[in-house]
């Protein structure tokens, strides 16, 4: 067991984890949080929460160009460590719209047109 924490990342992920400590990434991170200091997901809900994490909107999966080029969104730890990463693993958002229906077109409920209410 790792003394910091049990890290279950793949060998490929271990390689790109180093990018998060690069001067280039730290500069991008600082610029993102300076320009967008509030959590994007909380703002969509009308709540003001300070962001402290820069999230890759599209999973880079080791693609160095995508890693450094974005797009990015500013998030708080709660949103990044639960919602954003869960969506990445699932492949879709579970966010529900005002009509009570999932907003993400990739959500399984939106894949079958016959199930969508009229």
Mean of the per-residue pLDDT values for the chain?
80
Report long-range pairs for 89-93 (Cβ below 8 Å, ≥24 apart).
Answer: none
Across 37-91, the runs of DSSP E, i.e. the strands, are 53-56, 72-75
List the domain boundaries for the chain. Answer: 11-115
2-31 pLDDT tens trace: 444 444 566 777 778 889 999 999 999 999
Q: What is the pTM of this model?
A: 0.65
């Amino acid at each position: 067991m790792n003394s910091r924490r049990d890290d279950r990342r793949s060998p490929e992920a271990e390689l790109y984890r180093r990018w998060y400590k690069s001067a280039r990434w730290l500069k991008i991170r600082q610029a993102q949080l300076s320009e967008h200091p509030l959590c994007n997901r909380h703002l969509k809900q009308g709540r003001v929460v300070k962001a402290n994490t820069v999230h890759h909107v599209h999973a880079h999966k080791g693609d160095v160009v995508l890693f450094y080029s974005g797009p990015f969104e500013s998030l708080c730890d709660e949103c990044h460590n639960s919602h954003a990463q869960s969506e990445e693993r699932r492949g879709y958002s579970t966010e529900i719209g005002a009509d009570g229906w999932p907003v993400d077109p990739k959500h399984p409920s939106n894949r079958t047109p016959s199930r969508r209410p009229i």
